[in-house]
Amino acid sequence: MSRAITPPSASIGSTTTVHAGRGTAAAILCAAAPGDVAVLYEPAVEHLLKEIGRLHPHHRLACRRVDRPPMLTDLDETVGWLQASPAAALVAVGGGRVLDLAKLAVALAGTPGSVRHLGQLARRAGYAPLPGALTTGLPLLAVPTTLGTGAEVSSVAVVSGAGGDRTLVYSPSLRPTVAVLDPLATSTLPGRLAREGALEAMLRVAGAHIGCPSSVRMANTEALLLTRQLAQALDECGDEEEPGDDLRLFIAQLSNATHRGWALAGRSPFPSPLWFLAAELSAVLGVTKIAATAMLLPAWLERVAAGDARWGDHDRLTATWPAMSGTAAHLDSDVAGATRSMLRCWHLEPERVDAGPDAVEQVSRRLMRRWGGRLPMLGRFGEDDLGALVGDALAALPADIATARM
């Protein structure tokens, strides 16, 4: 008699309804009931707001511009603005910074003292989980104008404190009500930013698959599938100075799927160390997180390939490499060099940056303080381990890219 096998428990799901297609944003707004609508937006999309106001005069728009990545002070002001507003819905039009601020404001506006509580959590560590029942009842319509973050469907957001420390906030309440993937909203996105978005989405699933096992077979299958499709999209982007509507929409849908599908199921909430290293390196160097990620990627994969299981699994890297690189070749013996070549093919080699003489020490200390020690994100590493990877990453940059302040 064969013994019954109980499969490991895993589930996926999202409360966000997603609409995709050219002109979808205008159609969704047109179908909404007349009334007051609060709008958070970034300067680059002012022309879209004028068009929305022209096409939908039955909506009374109360607009608030977002000029920087959200800080706790910005969040407190935005929560107060929402609480005083008669708006029946909030529309967020912009990149990750706008969507993150909108998500946090909607989730926290209904709970007195919630921003102060978040600030207390943020001072203790880089990760702040919030209750799942936070809500104002205010619908949030998210219209991303960038690619790759998936903020329009994710349950996380990033906010900074007064000292510039970034905090990763998690709550199921952070998922928007509706997300709109409209290529018209990304029509002014430069080609490099489109490619960076595709790389960010690819590394979300490839990094998770390499960094952390999943007992869910579908998670592994889907992670490799999404990695391969995003790598192919990057190949297509490399051939186009400005990716067309169809390709931008495809990247947006793939990025969306990295959050909503099975790829991350059955894994740790912190499956890859790369995100945390890139967050702190970007803060110290003053570059974008995806630019910092590109700097770190070769050194990280080199350690995984060398068999250091703290950084990731060699066998899963071997399985993932053909999907990432777009070749049938086995894992290259010089994986760091091969990774740099891959980034060059996608026109994503790191741009010039001024790395000060104490940059490595600054980054490693920030990593230990915000994510290391007894915390599960990087607790398996010592400060020397983290500093060595960052140092190797910066040392490998060409001389005209990494320059030191003397």
pTM of the complete model beyond 0.85: yes
Whether 52 and 178 map to the same domain: the answer is yes
Strand pairing of 353-354 and 402-403?
parallel
Whether 281 and 140 map to the same domain: the answer is no
Whether 258 and 381 map to the same domain: the answer is yes
Residue 34 token pair: 């007349």
Phi-psi region of 62 (alpha: psi -120 to 50; beta: other; left: phi over 0): beta
Query: CA 281 from chain center: how many Å?
Result: 15
Whether 50 and 173 map to the same domain: the answer is yes
SS3 373: coil
Q: Is 240 a member of any domain?
A: yes
How many domains does the chain contain in total? 2
Whether 264 and 392 map to the same domain: the answer is yes
Sheet strands side by side (includes 166-170): 127-129, 166-170, 156-160
Residue 62 token pair: 């109360």
Q: Is 124 a member of any domain?
A: yes
CATH number for the domain that contains residue 168? 3.40.50.1970
Please give the backbone phi and psi of residue 178, each rounded to the nearest 5 degrees, phi first: -135, 140
Burial class (CB in 10 A: 0-12, 13-18, 19+), 329: exposed
List pLDDT tens digits, range 190-230: 999 999 999 999 999 999 999 999 999 999 999 999 999 99
Q: State the pLDDT at residue 383.
A: 97
Q: State the pLDDT at residue 258.
A: 96
Name the residue range of residue 170's domain: 17-186
Whether 159 and 195 map to the same domain: the answer is no
For the chain, which ranges sit under pLDDT 70? 1-14, 31-34, 51-59, 239-240, 328-329, 399-406
Whether 230 and 315 map to the same domain: the answer is yes
**What is d(CA 289, CA 296) in angstroms, rounded to the nearest whole number?**
10
Whether 136 and 245 map to the same domain: the answer is no
**What is d(CA 92, CA 95) in angstroms, rounded to the nearest whole number?**
9
| Structural domain ending residue among the three candidates 153, 186, 219 | 186
List pLDDT tens digits, range 267-309: 999 999 999 999 999 999 999 999 999 999 999 999 999 999 9
Residue 54 token pair: 């022209």
Whether 252 and 399 map to the same domain: the answer is yes
Whether 152 and 266 map to the same domain: the answer is no
Q: State the pLDDT at residue 163.
A: 81
**Which residue from 250, 195, 192 is spatially nearest to 226, judged by alpha carbons?**
250
**What is d(CA 101, CA 85) in angstroms, rounded to the nearest whole number?**
16
With beta carbons less than 8 A apart as the criterion, state whether 247 and 232 touch: no
Please give the backbone phi and psi of residue 237, each rounded to the nearest 5 degrees, phi first: -60, -35
CATH number for the domain that contains residue 345? 1.20.1090.10
Q: State the pLDDT at residue 404.
A: 36
**What is d(CA 170, CA 275) in angstroms, rounded to the nearest whole number?**
15
Strand pairing of 178-181 and 156-160?
unpaired
What is the identity of the amino acid at 319? A
Write out the E strands in 126-184.
Answer: 127-129, 140-144, 156-160, 166-170, 178-181
Whether 261 and 275 map to the same domain: the answer is yes
Q: Is 3 a member of any domain?
A: no
Q: State the pLDDT at residue 12.
A: 61
Q: State the pLDDT at residue 10.
A: 53
Residue 155 token pair: 């349950």
With beta carbons less than 8 A apart as the criterion, state whether 254 and 148 touch: no
Q: State the pLDDT at residue 221.
A: 96
Whether 218 and 355 map to the same domain: the answer is yes
Helix (H) or strand (E) holding 60: strand 59-65
